[in-house]
Amino acid sequence: MAKIRPLFLSALLACSVLMGTLPASAEGRTYDDKEKITNTGVDLSTATTLTVAKPASAVTTTEEKYYITGTSDPSKSLTINGAAVEARGELGTYGMQVSLAIGVNTFVIQNGGETKTATITREQAPSVTKTTKLTAAKPTFDDLAFAGEYTLTCTAPSGAEVSAKVGSQTVKLEQVAATAEDGVPAVYKGSLILEANGEENRVIPSVIYTLNRDGQISTVESAGNLTILPSGSTPTVQVNQNSSTVYEKDDLGSNFVAMLNAGAQDKIVEMGDTLAKLSMGGWIKKEFVDLVEGDPSVTNRIESVAYEAGEGGEYLTLYGTVPSVFKSYMNSEKVYLRFYHMKGITNVPLTDSELFEKAQVSAEEDSLTLELFCREQDNLLGYDVRYNEDDSITIFFNAKPQVSSGEQPLKGVTVVVDAGHGGMDPGALGVLNGKGPNEDDITMAHAIALQKRLESLGATVVMTVPQNLSQQEKVVLHERVEITRQAEADFFVSLHCNSVGGTANDLKSKGSEVYYYENISRSFAQSAVSSLAENTGRDLRGVYYSNYFVTRNSLCPGILMEMGFVSNPEEYDALRSADSLWYTANGVADAILSFLAA
Ligand SMILES: [Zn+2]
């Protein structure tokens, strides 16, 4: 719905509204359908009368400062205890950080003739925060360990007695470091020798922790089970999560060496606390693998190879026996794929290939490397390795589509539009703390506007989140990635809003930023965010490389855009305007057009 704008709007804003209908595209494209594109059906409105969202009622805090927020009539002056409120959006959303004295603080908020009062009581912060609970009881996920020494850990009040029962063994845990006072959360550790069941695995359904605090006894079960494997065994495991990172070392901060999809199989040769080492080299999170029953061989004997050129790309299928693990990369000249424990390929028949002119196969010890060389530079968007039900492996090579001439330049182009959060996950609550549209409402409105723009240009759009997703559901990240792979998407665009915590001092945070993972996405990311920032007047914070889960795919250029800050009253209101929807939709669409035209 078009909003009735308050009359006080500055000449500048009115001007930018008008400019929205003028040519603004990098492609020299003109759009004159603002009403249609920005009419998304998502209600982004808030009250234009005086309300107080934070604090919603009298509150008690130990913080020295508090951020009072709410809605107001934007055409009338607004003061808190007589001081003019500076952070105020065009739709009347306001926020003001106030200092609190110890005791009861009363704030009178005045908007024209309306008055509201906020009462905030500040208490002296306790010198230390205490706990009565035992938490983080290891294993927090279904864990694997070789027979031998195993260390249990948990967090519990300092000065207590903690023990844990693993099967029939009981072990006492010791507090790792002393604290100034009893009751402060402390880490406890204890080791024991685990024994396997002879040559068989032994499963402990849960580790049971007992906390004894001055005679008050409570028990906590670990969330995960523990499987004890015979020492010296090399169990076969299967990856249970798409885009699972393989790290160079037994260290989550180390380099990524591979990215595996659900189904990939390899053997574990070494075990760390959180990560396990695969025989391909590299470490994977233990929670992202499951044991494969019967401990089968991971040697993949390829019996035949097929190559097929299709509509949106080309397919190489390896008919073998195991979903092999691999390392891979792509650059403007070639795709490199090194499959481990694979045998039996000497050449790749590039039947009718328009993408590749040459394939090279080289064998090393226990791996096969396939290199496919592009006919032309930059004619590939990406690739995707898929494991099929019959244990064959298909590699999809995603061809860069051609821009068509005329009214529908994006005909044949598939774009996945990912509205951040949704359903039971509201994302950031924003300046009104849930009493107005949240991040998910704002991302959905922008996603719909983008869908409309892209469809008007002929693109096929796949939305990861349905508009009316119920409050009991959510679309988890790996589903969003799976939707993108299924769609053989040419582009992936994830829309989010930024925010900072309500008590942070950094409440002036503002502007747009964008994240990408694969190199190919960089220019797309840059042009999308520049266009958004330039047209909306928002600060351009940056174009950043990051390994966000949703953009971490090799299939197609993907970006995650943080359009603006919902914690900032001015940007919160701006993000709910037709201008924001219009410039985001046009900016991303134009970035796709420029990318394809390059
Ligand atoms: Zn978000």
Ligand 1 centre distance from Cα of residue 533 (Å): 18
Confidence tier at 235 by pLDDT (50, 70, 90): very high
Q: What's the pLDDT tens digit per position in 268-305? A: 999 999 999 999 999 999 999 999 998 899 999 999 99
Q: Is the pLDDT of residue 482 over 50?
A: yes
Ligand 1 centre distance from Cα of residue 447 (Å): 13
Of the candidates 431, 429, 564, 539, which has an alpha carbon nearest to the alpha carbon of residue 96? Answer: 431
Whether cis (ω within 30° of 0) applies to the bond prior to 55 is: yes
Q: Is the pLDDT of residue 245 over 80?
A: yes
CA angle centred on 104, ends 100 and 106, rounded to 5°: 75
Ligand 1 centre distance from Cα of residue 439 (Å): 7
The domain in which residue 90 lies consists of 59-122
Ligand 1 centre distance from Cα of residue 94 (Å): 22
Predicted local confidence at residue 189, as pLDDT: 97
Q: Does 262 lie in the same domain as 386?
A: no
Rounded distance, CA 157 to CA 187, Å? 9
Rounded distance, CA 29 to CA 51, Å? 43
In terms of Cβ atoms closer than 10 Å to its own Cβ (0-12, 13-18, 19+), residue 447 is buried
Rounded distance, CA 5 to CA 569, Å? 17
Rounded distance, CA 476 to CA 492, Å? 16
Ligand 1 centre distance from Cα of residue 391 (Å): 37
Q: Does 395 lie in the same domain as 409?
A: no
Confidence tier at 243 by pLDDT (50, 70, 90): confident
SS3 assignment, position 83: strand
Quick one: how far is CA 278 from the chain centroid? Answer: 26
HEC-encoded secondary structure of 524-553:
HHHHHHHHHHHHHCCCEEEEEECCCHHHCC
Predicted local confidence at residue 544, as pLDDT: 94
Confidence tier at 506 by pLDDT (50, 70, 90): low
Which pairs from 519-522 meet CB under 8 Å and 24+ separation? 519/331, 520/330, 520/381, 520/382, 520/557, 521/551, 521/557, 521/558, 521/559
Ligand 1 centre distance from Cα of residue 14 (Å): 30
Q: Does 577 lie in the same domain as 550?
A: yes
Confidence tier at 360 by pLDDT (50, 70, 90): very high
Ligand 1 centre distance from Cα of residue 321 (Å): 41
Predicted local confidence at residue 20, as pLDDT: 36
Predicted local confidence at residue 27, as pLDDT: 54
Ligand 1 centre distance from Cα of residue 560 (Å): 9
Ligand 1 centre distance from Cα of residue 155 (Å): 30
Ligand 1 centre distance from Cα of residue 86 (Å): 26
Ligand 1 centre distance from Cα of residue 561 (Å): 9
Average pLDDT, rounded, for the chain: 91
Q: Is the pLDDT of residue 507 over 80?
A: no
Ligand 1 centre distance from Cα of residue 15 (Å): 30
Ligand 1 centre distance from Cα of residue 120 (Å): 30
Ligand 1 centre distance from Cα of residue 393 (Å): 34
Ligand 1 centre distance from Cα of residue 67 (Å): 21
Q: What's the pLDDT tens digit per position in 301-343? A: 999 999 999 888 999 999 999 999 999 999 989 999 999 999 9
Ligand 1 centre distance from Cα of residue 466 (Å): 16
Q: Does 307 lie in the same domain as 247?
A: no
Rounded distance, CA 320 to CA 305, Å? 9
Q: Which of 194, 210, 229 is the endpoint of a domain?
A: 229
Ligand 1 centre distance from Cα of residue 497 (Å): 5
Rounded distance, CA 208 to CA 578, Å? 56
Ligand 1 centre distance from Cα of residue 366 (Å): 42
Ligand 1 centre distance from Cα of residue 498 (Å): 7
Domains in the chain: how many in total? 5
| 131 belongs to a structural domain | no
For residue 113 the two structure tokens come to: 């003739």
Q: Does 324 lie in the same domain as 219?
A: no
| 346 belongs to a structural domain | yes
Q: Between these two residues, 371 and 547, which has the higher pLDDT value? A: 371
| 51 belongs to a structural domain | no
Ligand 1 centre distance from Cα of residue 419 (Å): 9
Q: What's the pLDDT tens digit per position in 118-147? A: 999 999 988 788 999 999 999 999 999 999
Q: Does 590 lie in the same domain as 452?
A: yes
Q: Which residue has the tokens 């090399």?
A: 234
Contacts of residue 243, Cβ cutoff 8 Å, sequence gap at least 6? 259, 260, 261, 478, 481, 549, 552, 553
Q: Does 343 lie in the same domain as 270?
A: no
Ligand 1 centre distance from Cα of residue 565 (Å): 10
HEC-encoded secondary structure of 105-128:
EEEEEEECCEEEEEEEEECCCCCC
Predicted local confidence at residue 136, as pLDDT: 96
> CA distances (Å), 171 to each of 209, 210, 273, 402, 588, in order?
9, 10, 18, 66, 58
Rounded distance, CA 329 to CA 362, Å? 16
Ligand 1 centre distance from Cα of residue 92 (Å): 24
Q: Would strands 202-204 and 313-319 be described as parallel, antiparallel, or unpaired? A: unpaired
The CATH number of the domain holding residue 176 is 2.60.40.650
Q: Which amino acid is at 465?
A: V
Predicted local confidence at residue 319, as pLDDT: 97
Ligand 1 centre distance from Cα of residue 443 (Å): 8
Q: Does 421 lie in the same domain as 333?
A: no
Predicted local confidence at residue 24, as pLDDT: 41
| 88 belongs to a structural domain | yes
Work out the end-to-end distance of the chain between its first and last CA atoms, rounded to an integer number of angstroms.
Answer: 37
Q: Does 488 lie in the same domain as 588?
A: yes
Q: Which of 206, 229, 252 is the endpoint of a domain?
A: 229
Ligand 1 centre distance from Cα of residue 438 (Å): 10
| 529 belongs to a structural domain | yes
Q: Does 456 lie in the same domain as 586?
A: yes
DSSP class of 570: H
| 133 belongs to a structural domain | no
What average pLDDT score do residues 237-257 get?
94
Ligand 1 centre distance from Cα of residue 334 (Å): 34
The CATH number of the domain holding residue 247 is 2.30.30.40
Q: Is the pLDDT of residue 8 over 60?
A: no
The CATH number of the domain holding residue 574 is 3.40.630.40
Q: Does 444 lie in the same domain as 593?
A: yes
Q: Does 508 lie in the same domain as 452?
A: yes
Which pairs from 283-286 meet CB under 8 Å and 24+ separation? 283/246, 283/247, 283/248, 283/249, 283/250, 283/251, 283/254, 284/239, 284/244, 284/245, 284/246, 284/247, 284/260, 285/244, 285/245, 286/141, 286/143, 286/144
Predicted local confidence at residue 381, as pLDDT: 96
Predicted local confidence at residue 505, as pLDDT: 52
| 282 belongs to a structural domain | yes
> In sequence order, what are the beta bridge partners of 449?
none
Ligand 1 centre distance from Cα of residue 572 (Å): 14
Count Cα neighbours of 113 within 13 Å in the Cβ-side half-sphere: 0
Q: How many CB atoms lie within 10 A of CB 307?
A: 19
| 128 belongs to a structural domain | no
Q: Which of 347, 382, 399 is the endpoint of a domain?
A: 399
Model pTM? 0.88
Ligand 1 centre distance from Cα of residue 496 (Å): 4
For residue 40 the two structure tokens come to: 């998304």
Q: Which amino acid is at 473?
A: E
